[in-house]
Amino acid sequence: MLGHRGGRPQSQCIVISGESGAGKTESTKLLLQHIMNLCKGNSQLEQQILQVNPLLEAFGNAQTVMNDNSSRFGKYIQLHFQKNTVQGAKLSEYLLEKSRVVQQDAGERNFHIFYYMFAGLSSEEKEIYGLLDPSLYRYISGRFGTQDVAQRWKHKYQEVCNALDMVGFQEQEQVDMQAILAGVLSLGNVTFEPEESNGSVKVSEASRGWLKAAAGQFGVQEDELLKCLICTMSVTRGEQIQRFHTQQQAEDARDSIAKVAYGRVFGWIVCKINELLAENVDREVELGEIGILDIFGFENFAVNRFEQLCINLANEQLQHFFNHHIFQLEQAAYKEEELPWETITFNNNEPILNLLLAKPLGLLSLLDEQSAFPQATDKTFVDKLNSSFKGNLHFQPGRGRVLGFSILHYAGKVQYTAGGFLEKNRDTLPASIRGLFINSITPLLSVLFTATISRTGTLMPHMKAKVIPGADNKFNSTRKQSAGAQFRHSLMVLMERMYSANPHFVRCIKPNRQKEPGVVESQVVLQQLRYNGLLETIRIRRDGFSWRPSFEEFAERYGILLLKQDVSSTKESCLEILQSTELTGWLCGKSRLFFKYWHQEQLAKYVQRLEGAAVVIQKVFRGFRCRKSYLKLVAELRAQAQRLQEEAKREKSRQLAMEVEAHKRISLPVPIPQKRHPQPCSPDKPPQPPVPRPRSKLTESTPFDNYLDPSAPRPVLWTEEQTGKEAKMRKLQRGATLCWFKETQAQKVMQDDGAFPSWLHGMISRREAENLLSDKPLGCFLVRISQSRPGYTLTYRGEQRCRHYMIQVQPNVRYVILGEDRAHASLTELVRYHQTVGIQPFMEILTVPCGQKSSESLDYEVLECLKQGAPAAKGETPPEVQPCPSSLSTSRPALQSRAATVLRHVWFKNNNSFQSQESLDKSRTKPSSGEERGSQRAFPRLRSSIRLAMQEIQQFSSVHLKTSVQSSCQTHSIEDAEPK
């Protein structure tokens, strides 16, 4: 899509639309998988992008009447490319349906993540988070599911945890996030009853334990949370006034806290994903983009609320975008170029958009106006709509006593219930709650409420929100923008992005209303084809011209077909190019050409034919040039060898002549030299290296040593200075990697007995690993420490060769084989997993580990040193003061250790994925006993408070159950006694 088939690189956007349940989310996942498979970059970024979908589905999708996996938010995924490789991604989310957290209609469920937690967490983990039986929680309506459904949810929870690890979420962040979700559920069980003394409200006796549990899960004090629920504090003329809530206001405050907390957790997840998947690009290279829009489909339920109005507004905007590109722009181009064309009529929904978005008399503007009045109600809002839109063809007032109205959308008539419109648009939150959560001992909750909200409703954790004076005097929070205004701004930004790119449209059609596979209802399909405008689209695609390049663009792209240089960008040149082909059915306008959709593919084949011919020409020319260079080099070597042979013959003749001359003379006897014994070296005098024997020019002549022709240029591969620098750098890299392994990895990999696993080898090379596995059986493997980076390499003995898999250690200390879609908590867990599940793409299963040879081998010196220094982890000597084990040199170990440490810091600084590796790993080193392991585990901050609250709830439930059983027994005994 980015410049493929002779096209110019251009940003693209793909709009996936359709009814709820038509398959938009599944189409998005398939499209992402296809794009990632085409990229095939040498990084883990592709797998991280693919893991975003299951993560967002768990937190943003829910079961509705129309769809079991309905997206309750919209998302726009921007994939950034450089040189046909994905370099980063950015995610934008729109209008999360937060009201689903506190209320679901019949046949619907809450967000998936709540059910996944109950099915996937173990009993111990549920106790840690303070979760009891799911039937007790009001926010999930006590509906859980069958055993098969629970098993599927358990598998989904494992996928979510793996996605969190793969994308890069820290373990403590995951714990805090799940503790907040548990707090949302506990808060929903808090009920209120009137106080007889002063007319205020109080927490009922049955929900005291739930309030304590929610406070512990949120990391705040119980009494402070209670004050935020039942009263509002305000300051008037220096005097503090406490105003108590009614029972309805207290319940509204409780539900608003739950909605805002969940909404900010979801927004934080999106921000964290964008932070972890941020692009790392070359600023000098042009950056391309492919955007994929997966937004909620058109909805028409039995009861339609504020969320359905916003969802259908988004679909109206997308339909207008589709009509604008397919019908308006295309037919305007035909008229401008004076082509023979019969105008195709279509259903223009612009009047509906004016009804909803116009200022100051649009529906959303009137809703914001009414929301600004404290005394306004939903009835006054409906009365305002009836008076403002009287006579509008697309608006119908509610009939009878129903407080609502109807809008005639492009997809049909939808009746909306106006109850709750003002409250949802205000998106209120008690101002004291924000201050309470900012001071929470749970860092994540403090970050969520310290962050500010942008105009589009996006959470920005790195920017602190401004506190508006006098905000405490209002029941509303410091947020001044309404939910409708935020959605309108975000929709406007989305349309700007899509109008600046080349759009592609994917229409998903729902086959039936019963959610049954393999069933197609003709009337249902035909209705969707009509209101989507697909029948008119088919006609304009049949009669129209989908590709309309200008003369300059066409000549620049296909001028190569003329096989000449300097093709001008004129109409005549374009016609000459087309006449050289066999294309028919195209038209030429005043400033551009008009083609059918298949013409671009046919022109691409002509270009590919020339590209193939160019490759053949390059192949022949390069072969000719290399052959010519080779023959020249062979001739030079032969001439040089001949000269050497002639020189050797002359030298040999001269030596023979000298020997003959010497025999003629009378020579004195030569004394026999005495044998010299080596003298012992003195301790203060270092041993001298042996003096090398001088080599003869006759026997040692090579082009690189003792060159005979001084005038010829000497071939230089590298200088001694360069060789020394490279060797020194390799030594420093090796030392830095060894320090990284010792300080961050050794204690994690080491077994309980202080020894390393048999499959772990030292820092051996690729060839040494292959030699070790050469005579081993199929499936034998070993894990070695990488020499040039902080990480590992798994070497596997295949059928005819050894394969080397790179193991990446992520910033959140998770181990991933490059290209795999699963993260592991430890290296041992990774090995055990792939002893049962094959490694992609060859699905090779690890069988027999390759054991170490001996402790005397240089390859295992690192492991042996660490085994001997194992007690350092127990407190004898801090690991920071121990020298790094290295086999580099023994003359100056301290200097090399310091140099390796300096290089390691520079190395980690340049490598973004390991900036926080050292501090993070020290807090997660492997303990030596079970008790220490438990102390190192991440827990919610107020775990003891949560445990006490759970005990109080269980005691109250048991007492209540016992009382009810006794009363029922007494009733039965009285009934039995009455006949007597």
The one catalytic residue among 74, 120, 188, 297: 297
Q: 502-518 in b/e burial notation, b at 16+ Cβ within 10 A?
A: ebebbbbbbbeeeeeee
Give the C-alpha separation, 773 to 802, whole Å: 8
Q: Is 199 annotated as a binding residue?
A: no
Q: Which of 11, 17, 25, 786 is catalytic?
A: 25
935 in Cβ contact with 927 (< 8 Å): yes
**314: Cβ–Cβ under 8 A, 6 or more apart, which residues?**
74, 94, 95, 295, 296, 491
Place of tokens 């030429």: 588
In which residue are the tokens 């102390």 written? 935
Contacts from 147-152 at CB under 8 Å and sequence distance 24+?
Answer: 150/119, 151/119
Looking up tokens 């996030």 gives 177
Rounded Cα–Cα distance for residues 953 and 478 (Å): 35
Helices (H), 40-107: 45-50, 52-60
CB-CB contact of 416 with 407 (8 Å): yes
Catalytic residue among 46, 159, 299, 844: 299
Question: Is 22 marked as binding a ligand?
Answer: yes
21 is in an annotated binding site: yes
Measure the CA–CA gap between 379 and 383, rounded to whole angstroms.
6
Question: Catalytic annotation on 67?
Answer: yes
How open is the CA angle 173-177-178, to the nearest 5 degrees?
120
Active-site annotation holder among 67, 315, 349, 440: 67
Give the residue carrying structure tokens 């699963």: 822
Q: Judge whether 20 counts as a catalytic residue.
A: yes
CA distance 477 to 438: 14
Establish whether 83 is an annotated binding residue. no
Six token digits for residue 933 = 């392991």
The Cβ of residue 911 has, within 10 Å, a number of other Cβ atoms equal to: 12
Sheet with 85-94, side-by-side order of all strands = 85-94, 74-82, 288-294, 12-18, 502-508
Q: Pick the catalytic residue: 11, 20, 28, 458?
A: 20
Residue 328: burial class (beta carbons within 10 Å; 0-12, 13-18, 19+): middle
Distances (CA, A) of 305 to 88, 414, 518, 690, 742: 37, 10, 32, 93, 59
Q: Which of 17, 21, 93, 315 is catalytic?
A: 21
Q: Is 25 annotated as a binding residue?
A: yes
C-alpha 900/C-alpha 419 separation (Å) is 68
| 71 is known as an active-site residue | yes
Please return the burial class of 184, using the count of CB atoms within 10 Å of its CB with bins 0-12, 13-18 and 19+.
Answer: buried
Smallest CA-to-CA distance from 739 within 637, 840, 546, 883 is with 883
What span, in angstroms and rounded, lies between the C-alpha atoms of 68 and 153? 13
List the one residue out of 411, 548, 422, 545 whose CA is nearest residue 482. Answer: 422
As a whole number of angstroms, the distance between CA 258 and CA 436 comes to 14
Is the alpha carbon torsion for 75, 81, 84, 85 positive or negative? negative
Is 591 annotated as belonging to a binding site? no
Question: Residue 647, annotated ligand binder?
Answer: no
Nearest to 258 by CA among 370, 357, 140: 140
| Catalytic residue selected from 53, 71, 349, 425 | 71
In contact, 353 and 316? CB cutoff 8 Å: yes
Torsion, Cα of 217, 222, 228, 231 (10° steps): 150
CB atoms within 10 A of CB 403: 16
Number of neighbours of residue 931 by Cβ within 10 angstroms: 9
CA 958 from chain centre, in angstroms, equals 45
Rounded Cα distance between 722 and 748, Å, is: 38
Whether 19 has a binding-site annotation, put simply, is yes
CA distance 768 to 796: 13
297 is catalytic: yes
List all residues 6 or more positions away from 436 whose beta carbon is below 8 Å from its beta carbon.
220, 224, 225, 228
841 vs 7: CA distance, rounded Å: 32
Of the residues 17, 27, 70, 913, which is catalytic? 70
**Residues known to be catalytic:** 20-21, 25, 67, 70-71, 297, 299
Binding residues: 18-25
Binding residues for ATP: 18-25
